[in-house]
Amino acid sequence: MDRARLAVDYARRHRARFVDELCELIGFPSVSSDLRRKSDVERCAAWLADHLRRIGLADARVWRTSGHPLVWARRQGAAGAPTILIYGHYDVQPEGSREAWQTPPFRGTLRGDHLYGRGASDDKGQLFTHIKALESYLATSELPVNVVVLLDGEEEIGSPGLIKRMQQGSDALAADLIVISDTRIPSPERPALTYALRGNLQLELGVSGPARDVHAGYFGGSAPNPLQHLSGLVARLHAPDGRVAIDGFYRRVRAITPEERAYLVAVGPPDSAIVKTQGSPPARGDPGYSLYERTTARPGLTVTRVSTDGAGGPAAIPSRASARIDIRLVPDQQPTEIAELFRRWITGARDEGLRASVRLVAATPWVELPRRGAVPAAAAAAYQNAFGVQPVFLRSGGSIGVVSAFQRLLGIPIVLMGFGLPSDGAHGPNEKFHLPTFIRGLETSIWFMRNIGAIGGQQPR
Ligand SMILES: [Zn+2]
C-alpha 64 to ligand 1 mean position (Å): 21
In the chain, which residues fall in CATH 3.30.70.360? 199-253+299-364
Q: Which fold has domain 3-197+367-455?
A: Aminopeptidase (3.40.630)
C-alpha 182 to ligand 1 mean position (Å): 5
* 199-253+299-364 is classed CATH 3.30.70.360: yes
Distance of CA 176 to the CA centre of its chain: 22
C-alpha 126 to ligand 1 mean position (Å): 9
C-alpha 92 to ligand 1 mean position (Å): 8
Q: How many residues does the chain have?
A: 461
C-alpha 212 to ligand 1 mean position (Å): 41
Pairing of strands 70-75, 61-63: antiparallel
C-alpha 8 to ligand 1 mean position (Å): 26
pLDDT tens profile 6-32: 999 999 999 999 999 999 999 999 999
C-alpha 394 to ligand 1 mean position (Å): 17
pTM (predicted TM-score): 0.90
User: Average pLDDT of 110-133?
Assistant: 98
User: Inter-axis angle of helices 15-26 and 38-54, to 10 degrees?
Assistant: 160
How high is the pLDDT of residue 460?
Answer: 55
- In Å, what is the CA distance from 202 to each residue of 95, 215, 271? 21, 33, 27
User: Average pLDDT of 335-362?
Assistant: 90
CB 233 within 8 A of CB 349: yes
How high is the pLDDT of residue 270?
Answer: 80
pLDDT tens profile 22-71: 999 999 999 999 999 999 999 999 999 999 999 999 999 999 999 999 99
User: Average pLDDT of 261-284?
Assistant: 80
CB 178 within 8 A of CB 41: no
How high is the pLDDT of residue 275?
Answer: 78
Query: Which protein residues have their CB within 5 A of the ion that is ligand 1?
Result: 122-123, 182
pLDDT tens profile 239-264: 988 899 999 999 999 999 999 999 98
C-alpha 458 to ligand 1 mean position (Å): 32
C-alpha 322 to ligand 1 mean position (Å): 28
C-alpha 6 to ligand 1 mean position (Å): 30
C-alpha 128 to ligand 1 mean position (Å): 13
C-alpha 283 to ligand 1 mean position (Å): 26
Longest pairwise C-alpha distance within the chain: 86
C-alpha 404 to ligand 1 mean position (Å): 14
How high is the pLDDT of residue 224?
Answer: 86
C-alpha 437 to ligand 1 mean position (Å): 17
Asked whether the predicted pLDDT for residue 414 surpasses 90, the reply is yes
In the chain, which residues fall in CATH 3.40.630.10? 3-197+367-455
Q: What percent of the chain has pLDDT over 90?
A: 80
C-alpha 157 to ligand 1 mean position (Å): 10
C-alpha 230 to ligand 1 mean position (Å): 32
C-alpha 155 to ligand 1 mean position (Å): 7
CB 390 within 8 A of CB 429: no
Closest CA to 292 of 187, 396, 428, 427: 396
- In angstroms, the CA 6 to CA 449 distance is 13
C-alpha 399 to ligand 1 mean position (Å): 9
How high is the pLDDT of residue 458?
Answer: 54
C-alpha 111 to ligand 1 mean position (Å): 23
- In Å, what is the CA distance from 38 to each residue of 21, 69, 225, 301, 431? 22, 10, 40, 32, 22
C-alpha 3 to ligand 1 mean position (Å): 31
